Amino acid sequence: MISTEPGNHTGRPALGLALAALASVLWPPAALAQELAPRAYWPAPNGTKVANFAYQFSVGDVITDPSLPVVGVDSRIHGFQFSYQQTVSLLGRTASLQFTLPYSGGTTDGELFDQPVRRSLSAIGDVRLRLAVNLLGAPTMDVAAFQQLRAAPRTVVGVSLLVQAPTGGYESDKLLNVGTNRWGWKPAVGVIWPFFPTWMLEADVGVWLFTDNDDFLGMTREQAPIVSTEFHLIKRFRPGFWAALDVTYYAGGRTSVDGNRLADLQRNARIGGTLTFPFKQGHAIRGSYSTGVVTASGGDFQIFAASYVYIWR
């Protein structure tokens, strides 16, 4: 349920833009560029399959358009995600295909013209497909060749394309939705530099591009591209057991609703950590945490995540 009645206030244009701003900075659209994914370009033997069952909890203030009267925003969002990835050979290079299906539910609270605003919902999110190809340092490998790479790591360079399809739950007359009702895609390039046998530095640079949502409360919502960078300092302890210090910075993403530009330009940074621990052959658990450190617009919240990973060939 969501309450949006501002009493006897007559500023309907301001109200409409305020509600649009509230809807545009919460839930999945705000989280796209804030992800931290270490070892996204680390190769695996040809034919390796990975299933990942993940849970994520996000909590905290999300800063809305500072020129509009939506204040005190607090979100508590639970997310569940299944992903499947398989390593394949593409023109003699290591490549991977990944499919991801998310589900999100939770509650967002705030104040609009001194009146409480609340929205609770849950639904399946937008499906994602990712193709990554290693261009340097990782030709198609069998298990023996991969073990040699792991013993003597070398620089790896890869490219990827992530596509997000508008398949999630979306109601055009609702302010907040789990689905985005638009296409998004992110081309990126990543590099892994090993500087000790068990230490690596990974960097990723990409840009999120979006189509318009032409059914946003009877209006059209546009969003400018978001440039996203990630840096990961990775320590490998033994096969399958590793930890990473994660940092991301992203900028851009200013939105417009029916031609009205909102003051929601993002220039944000997050920091976090990831730990993966194998407890049985082919089985592992992973935990991660991240928080906002620079939040020019949005992103000032914490994310806790845990997942079970199963690997087989």
* Residue 16 · residue 70 · CB < 8 Å: no
In a domain, 144, yes or no: yes
Lowest mean pLDDT among 234-248, 252-266, 290-304: 290-304
Q: What is the pLDDT of residue 105?
A: 87
> Is residue 36 very low, low, confident or very high in pLDDT (cuts 50, 70, 90)?
confident
- What letter does residue 287 receive in the DSSP assignment? E
**Are 170 and 179 contacting, i.e. CB atoms less than 8 angstroms apart?**
yes
Q: Which of 21-25, 205-209, 215-219 has maximum average pLDDT?
A: 205-209
184: Cα separation from own chain's centroid = 12
Mean pLDDT value of segment 271-285:
95
CA distance 75 to 106: 8
Average pLDDT on 165-171 reads 92
Structural domain includes residue 190: yes
List Cα–Cα distances, 313 to 47, 89, 148, 194, 225, in angstroms.
Answer: 6, 14, 18, 26, 38
Cα separations in angstroms, 87 against 96, 137, 180, 189, 238 = 4, 15, 29, 18, 21
Check whether 184 has a pLDDT greater than 60. Answer: yes
- From first CA to last CA, the distance across the chain in angstroms is 47
DSSP designation for 181 = S
Do 16 and 216 form a contact (C-beta atoms < 8 A)? Answer: no
What digits encode the pLDDT tens for the residues 82-134? 999 999 999 999 999 999 999 988 887 777 657 777 778 889 999 999 999 99
Whether 7 maps to a domain, the answer reads no
SS3 198: coil
pLDDT at residue 216, as a whole number: 86
At 299 the pLDDT is: 56
Taking 50 as the threshold, does the pLDDT of residue 68 lie above it?
Answer: no
Residue range 215-227: mean pLDDT, rounded: 91
Q: Looking at the domain assignment, is residue 3 inside a domain? A: no
Within a domain: 1: no
pLDDT at residue 71 greater than cutoff 80 = no
Biggest alpha carbon–alpha carbon distance for the chain? 73
Q: What are phi and psi of 43, to 5 degrees?
A: -75, 175
Average pLDDT of every residue of the chain: 84
pLDDT given at position 306: 96
User: Which pLDDT score, from 0 to 100, does residue 62 have?
Assistant: 52
Interval 149-159 mean pLDDT: 95
Residue 164 confidence (pLDDT) above 90? yes
User: Strand, helix or coil at 119?
Assistant: strand
- C-alpha dist (Å) from residue 204 to 28, 110, 271: 21, 35, 15
Indicate whether 5 belongs to any domain: no
Q: Give 245-262 pLDDT, tens digit per residue.
A: 999 999 998 888 898 888
Has residue 222 been placed in a domain? Answer: yes
Q: Report residue 67 as tokens.
A: 């020129």
> Does the pLDDT value for residue 16 go beyond 80?
no
Q: Do residues 15 and 3 lie in contact, with contact meaning Cβ atoms separated by under 8 Å?
A: no
Domain that holds residue 258: 12-312
Q: How many CB atoms lie within 10 A of CB 283?
A: 13
Domain containing 256 — which CATH number?
Answer: 2.40.160.40
**What residues are paired with 241 via a beta bridge?**
238
- Given pLDDT bands bounded at 50, 70 and 90, which one contains residue 7? very low
Strands 93-112 and 302-312: unpaired
CB atoms near residue 270 (< 10 Å): 25
Task: Name the residue with tokens 């999945």.
Answer: 28
Query: Per mean pLDDT, which of 63-67, 129-133, 194-198 is the most reliable?
Result: 129-133
Report CA-CA distances (Å) from 201 to 43, 232, 310.
15, 6, 25
With bands split at pLDDT 50, 70 and 90, how would you rate the model's confidence at 34?
low
Domains in the chain: how many in total? 1
